[in-house]
């Protein structure tokens, strides 16, 4: 038993755990209160066979959503723990910008059930930060999630597999072509990690999936290096139209 487990009751006595969303007293520091749990939007079935976009009660013929039919993805699926709503947004902001690294176990704990097929044969690769952003923030939130997923699944962790070779500005408000141009050449596989990717099954880990431009660039880099299969895993997925059908 680790020292953290031994000291945990004492820490909870001195600093009673609080829900990170509403501040209510809770039984464990790695969780939410019952009321706040109920506010998270959990994507379910039926869903697109290619990207797991929720359909609501009706699945279209063929089981594939319009966006995937129009532009078939190179990834092998998207495993999202939640849909991006106000509660998940608050958790992400606290985790990413509020130095609340302690939220990683709880957030990863919601991601793992969406990855039941992941075991020791898989490789966990976080979406990279540029070195200046990593230096400023002090940690890569995607890497923290990947580390927690690895502890629960037994999958291998390869934090430095992908590198962000140039800093890019926010992609918000850009069109598809503008996002692609902005990310062109920005993400690559570390030369020393290419051999490990030959024929590998990879989980690409991030906190939020928005337009998918960054993850697409990561998937392309991994596939070029020889990865056989790449599944995208995120804590929250931005799908405003899906919030009405969950």
Give residue 90's pLDDT.
Answer: 96
Which CA distances in Å does 175 have to 71, 109, 114, 146, 212? 15, 33, 30, 29, 12
Q: What is the pLDDT of residues 134-158, one digit of tens each?
A: 888 899 999 999 999 999 999 999 9
**Is the per-residue pLDDT at 8 higher than 70?**
no
Least confident of 119-123, 144-148, 175-179: 175-179
Task: Give CB contacts under 8 A, 24+ apart, made by 99-105.
Answer: 99/138, 100/20, 101/139, 101/144, 102/29, 102/30, 103/20, 104/141, 104/144, 104/145, 104/147, 104/148, 105/30, 105/148
Give residue 167's pLDDT.
Answer: 67
Give residue 111's pLDDT.
Answer: 97
The CATH number fitting domain 40-242, selected from 2.60.40.10, 3.40.50.2300, 3.40.50.2020, 3.30.360.10: 3.40.50.2020
Mean pLDDT computed over every residue of the chain: 87
Domain boundaries, given as residue ranges, for the chain: 1-34, 40-242
- Does pTM top 0.85 for this prediction? yes
Read off the pLDDT of each residue in 196-202 and give the average, rounded to a whole number: 97
**Is the per-residue pLDDT at 230 higher than 70?**
yes
Question: Which of the pair, 69 or 186, is modelled with greater confidence?
Answer: 69
Rounded percentage of the chain residues whose pLDDT exceeds 90: 63
Rounded percentage of the chain residues whose pLDDT exceeds 70: 84
């Amino acid at each position: 038993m680790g020292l953290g487990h031994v000291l945990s009751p004492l820490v909870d006595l001195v600093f009673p755990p609080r829900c990170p969303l509403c501040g209510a007293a809770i039984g464990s520091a790695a969780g939410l209160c019952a009321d706040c749990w109920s506010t998270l939007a959990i994507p379910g079935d039926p869903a697109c066979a290619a990207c797991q976009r929720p359909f609501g009660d009706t699945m279209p013929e063929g089981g594939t959503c319009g966006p995937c039919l129009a532009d078939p993805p190179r990834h092998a699926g998207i495993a999202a723990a939640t849909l991006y709503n106000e509660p998940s947004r608050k958790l992400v902001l606290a985790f990413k910008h509020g130095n609340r690294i302690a939220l990683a176990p709880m957030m990863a704990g919601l991601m793992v059930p969406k990855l039941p097929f992941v075991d020791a044969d898989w490789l966990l690769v976080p979406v990279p930060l540029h070195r200046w952003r990593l230096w400023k923030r002090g940690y890569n939130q995607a890497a923290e999630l990947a580390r927690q997923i690895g502890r629960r699944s037994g999958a291998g962790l390869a934090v430095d597999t992908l590198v962000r070779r140039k800093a890019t500005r926010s992609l918000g408000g850009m069109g598809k072509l503008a996002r692609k141009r902005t990310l062109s050449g920005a993400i690559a596989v570390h030369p020393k990690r290419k051999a490990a990717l030959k024929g590998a099954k990879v989980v690409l880990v991030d906190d939020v999936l928005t337009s998918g431009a960054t993850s697409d660039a990561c998937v392309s880099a991994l596939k070029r290096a020889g990865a056989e299969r790449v599944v995208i895993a995120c804590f929250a997925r931005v799908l405003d139209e899906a919030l009405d059908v969950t």
